[in-house]
């Protein structure tokens, strides 16, 4: 039986982190849960530890945080999960069944949102397929440690670290789409509007596609958020 480590990168997620950790532990109390904190100024680390997670500190940024969590993890299978995303019921039974095939080295779940919005439903269903445009960390990333180590983990990027990991993994293995849905928060879409947020995300991705540095894209994103 493979062993699992669930790694949750977090930054100022006190409203989500305890529920996220507890939900994973409820699915399988034997699974190792690691919260990789990027320097939260709220009670994220305190609440994560109280919920039963191992807390590690890391430089801010999902890439460095995920790598720090992976360095602490003991599992043969690494599951990278966002703090505002919930795994489906039976997630680890599904994973054990799928990963019994040694040819499956990397996988993602299907995506759904916690808001009923026809545009988001369409966007989520597009993510049920694997491509450079449709595979992101929101869906959960499941990867054998052996492959994770071989490709060097996540790049030290503040954005698109998930896209790059899938690109590196895809060069060595098929990305398996799991037959179950994670539920992720639509909070950005509720805050900014569904269409504006979708267009903004597409604009960021197009910049990445043409070779703009993820660090520069992140700076542009931060300037927009502060405007």
Rounded mean pLDDT, 131-142: 94
The overall pTM is greater than 0.85: yes
E-state strands within the chain: 4-10, 32-37, 54-57, 77-80, 85-86, 106-113, 141-144, 175-184
CA distance 124 to 112: 5
pLDDT digits over 39-49, tens only? 999 999 999 99
- Residue (of 74, 46, 64, 68) closest to 56 by Cα position: 68
Phi, psi of 57 (to 5 degrees): -100, 145
| Rounded Cα–Cα distance for residues 151 and 223 (Å) | 32
Task: Indicate the Cα dihedral angle 9, 217, 173, 80, nearest 10°.
Answer: 10
Q: pLDDT category, 223, cuts 50, 70, 90?
A: low
More confident residue, 159 or 27: 27
**Averaged pLDDT, 158-164:** 93
Which superfamily is assigned to 4-190 in CATH? Spore Coat Polysaccharide Biosynthesis Protein SpsA; Chain A (3.90.550.10)
pLDDT of amino acid 222 = 64
Evaluate if residue 67 carries a pLDDT over 70: yes
What band does 158 get if pLDDT is binned at 50, 70 and 90?
Answer: confident
Token couple for 45:
């680390």
pLDDT of residue 226: 42
The answer, yes or no, to whether residue 135 has pLDDT greater than 80, is yes
Residue 90 in this model has a pLDDT that exceeds 90: yes
Contacts of 41 (CB under 8 A, 6+ apart): 12
């Amino acid at each position: 039986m493979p062993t699992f480590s669930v790694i949750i990168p977090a930054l100022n997620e006190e409203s989500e982190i305890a529920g996220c950790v507890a939900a994973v532990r409820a699915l399988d109390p034997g699974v190792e849960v690691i919260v990789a904190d990027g320097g939260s100024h709220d009670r994220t680390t305190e609440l994560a530890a109280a919920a039963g997670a191992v807390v590690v500190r890391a430089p801010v940024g999902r890439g460095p945080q995920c790598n720090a969590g992976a360095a602490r993890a003991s599992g043969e299978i690494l599951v990278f999960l966002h703090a505002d995303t919930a795994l489906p019921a039976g997630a680890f039974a599904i994973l054990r069944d799928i990963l019994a095939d040694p040819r499956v080295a990397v996988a993602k779940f299907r995506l759904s949102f916690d808001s009923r919005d026809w545009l988001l439903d369409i966007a989520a269903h597009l993510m049920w397929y694997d491509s450079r445009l449709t595979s992101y960390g929101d869906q959960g990333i499941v990867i054998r440690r052996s492959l994770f180590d071989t490709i060097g983990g996540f790049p030290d990027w503040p954005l698109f670290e998930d896209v790059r990991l899938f690109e590196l993994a895809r060069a060595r293995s098929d990305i398996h789409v799991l037959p179950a849905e994670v539920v992720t928060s639509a909070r950005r879409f509720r805050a900014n509007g569904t269409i504006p947020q979708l267009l903004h995300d597409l604009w960021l991705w197009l910049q990445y596609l043409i070779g703009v540095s993820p660090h520069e894209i992140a700076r542009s994103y931060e300037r927009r958020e502060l405007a």
